[in-house]
Amino acid sequence: MSDRRSFSEIPAELLREHGAEERVERGWQRLAGELSTAPRRRRAIPPMLAVAAATFAFGVVVGSRWLPREPLPLPALGAEPAEAPKPAGQRVAPTPPSSSHPESTPRSPQAHRVSARRVELAPRGEVELAPAPTAEEAPASTASAAPWQRLADEGQYAQALVSLEANGGFDAALLDATADQLMSLVDVARATGQRQRAITALRRIVSEHGADPNAPVAAWMLGNELAKGRDFSGAEQAFAMYRALSPGGDFAEDALARQVDMAAEQGNRDHARRLAEQYLKEFPDGPRTADIQAELERWGHAPGTPAPSSERELGASPDAGLPR
């Protein structure tokens, strides 16, 4: 007998830990050996590698258009899965009967093991029915979303921009966009190299949708974008806004440290000192504590020295410098 049953998130204690000391030791020995023979590779990508990457990217695009996305049938479970939902823009082939094309619907060995097991991690009384998604939470509807947004959801940002420009323009879309739509516009602007438009959209989220869950991350992104454009004052305010919107957020400590950096970049040493002292008070064991302490001492002991702007790199974020 089978049914559809709830389960909660995967508890951490069910997951295997892979950080055994011996394994880490082996990994380090391997890495150290490789680094000792080839220390610090050059960043320049050989032309052949670039060609290979471009070919691969093309292949990915072509491949993504052919991929069926229907679920693997799990006949061993005793019930045919219902038809898969079809996210925006997805090309879904009809699900073949599992018996007629067994080779086309490979099942993992694990799927077989499921059949005889009772799967219920939470006591039944604790299982809650999921509430119907609110309009704000619901995924963008394929039917109702504007074409540009569907393209943006699919990661086709250039095409999304073309669609936007053909239908009133990017700036017009900003005017009555929801916070989610504004974030999509930010994605489009960033992906197409339009920092100023991204900043405009981010400002709009922070100023007009301050209560929206997107607002803190928008403030964080705004700070980064402004810092990249060397608007240190604006960036400092944006990082302050992040902390105001999400005091316990994952990046609250980073945001305050970035405020110190931005104030130092502006040469506003008094303000930087106050922020630094606040950082040391709020995060006495923070990752930036030692260097902020050192900066503070340097500013205090050598009042004539310029703000340490040359030592700061701007636009930092946890994903800064990621290979694209």
Partner 1 sequence: MAAEPAHLRLVSAGDDPERREPLSGTVRRPSVGPYPELGDAQLVALASNGEAAALEALYRRHAPFALNLAVRLQGSAADVEDVVHDAFLRAHERLDSLREPAAFRAWLGSIIVRMIRTRMRRRRLLRALGFVHQGDAVELDAVASPDAGPEARALLAQVYALLCTIPPDDRIAWTLRYVERHRLETVAELADCSLATAKRRIQRAQAFLSEHFVSTIAETSP
Residue ranges in 176-195 that form contacts with partner 1 under rule CB under 8 A:
179-180, 183-184, 186-187
- Among 167-175, 214-222, 266-274, 295-303, the segment contacting partner 1 (CB under 8 A): 214-222
The Cα angle at residue 92 between residues 87 and 98, in degrees rounded to 5: 120
Q: How far is the CB of 144 from partner 1 (least distance, A)?
A: 14
Residue-wise DSSP of 94-153: PPPPTTT-GGGS---HHHHHHTT-----S-GGG--PPPPPPTTTSPPPTTTS-HHHHHHH
Our finding on whether 114 is near partner 1 (CB under 8 A) is yes
In this complex, which beta carbon is closest to partner 1, that of residue 46 or of residue 303? 46
In this complex, which beta carbon is closest to partner 1, that of residue 70 or of residue 304? 70
Dihedral sign for Cα atoms in the order 313, 316, 319, 324: negative
Our finding on whether 91 is near partner 1 (CB under 8 A) is no
CB atoms under 10 Å from CB of 252, counted, come to 20
> Of residues 16-35, which lie at the interface with partner 1 (CB under 8 A)?
16-19, 21, 23-24, 26-28, 30-32, 34-35
Our finding on whether 50 is near partner 1 (CB under 8 A) is no
The token pair that represents 308 in the structure block: 């340490």
Q: With 0-12 CB in 10 A as exposed, 13-18 as middle and 19+ as buried, what is 292? A: buried
> Could you say which of 235, 252, 260, 275 contacts partner 1 (CB under 8 A)?
252
Residues whose CB falls within 8 Å of the CB of residue 238, separated by 6 or more in sequence, listed in order: 206, 219, 220, 222, 223, 226
> Could you say which of 159, 194, 244, 253 contacts partner 1 (CB under 8 A)?
253
In this complex, which beta carbon is closest to partner 1, that of residue 56 or of residue 167? 56
In this complex, which beta carbon is closest to partner 1, that of residue 14 or of residue 303? 14
> Could you say which of 135, 143, 211, 290 contacts partner 1 (CB under 8 A)?
290
Which of 226, 156, 303 shows the shortest CA–CA distance to 241? 226
In this complex, which beta carbon is closest to partner 1, that of residue 113 or of residue 195? 113
Our finding on whether 44 is near partner 1 (CB under 8 A) is no
Our finding on whether 72 is near partner 1 (CB under 8 A) is yes
Q: How far is the CB of 303 from partner 1 (least distance, A)?
A: 25
In this complex, which beta carbon is closest to partner 1, that of residue 71 or of residue 168? 71
Q: Using CA atoms, how far apart are residues 239 and 178, in angstroms rounded to an integer? A: 22
Gyration radius from the chain CA atoms? 26
> Could you say which of 148, 150, 153, 235 contacts partner 1 (CB under 8 A)?
153
Residue-wise DSSP of 32-86: HHHHHHS-S--SPPPHHHHHHHHHHHHHHHHHHHH---PPPP-GGGTSPPPPPP-
C-alpha 96, offset from chain centre: 35
> Could you say which of 98, 194, 268, 289 contacts partner 1 (CB under 8 A)?
289
Our finding on whether 49 is near partner 1 (CB under 8 A) is no
- Among 161-169, 229-237, 246-254, 271-279, the segment contacting partner 1 (CB under 8 A): 246-254
What does the buried/exposed string (b/e) look like for 148-164 if buried means 16 or more CB atoms within 10 Å of the residue's CB? bbbbbbeebbebbbebb
Our finding on whether 4 is near partner 1 (CB under 8 A) is yes
> Could you say which of 49, 50, 138, 158 contacts partner 1 (CB under 8 A)?
138
Q: How far is the CB of 265 from partner 1 (least distance, A)?
A: 13
Binding-site size for partner 1 (CB under 8 A) equals 123
Residue 219 region by backbone torsions, left for phi larger than 0, else alpha for psi between -120 and 50, else beta: alpha
Q: How far is the CB of 7 from partner 1 (least distance, A)?
A: 6
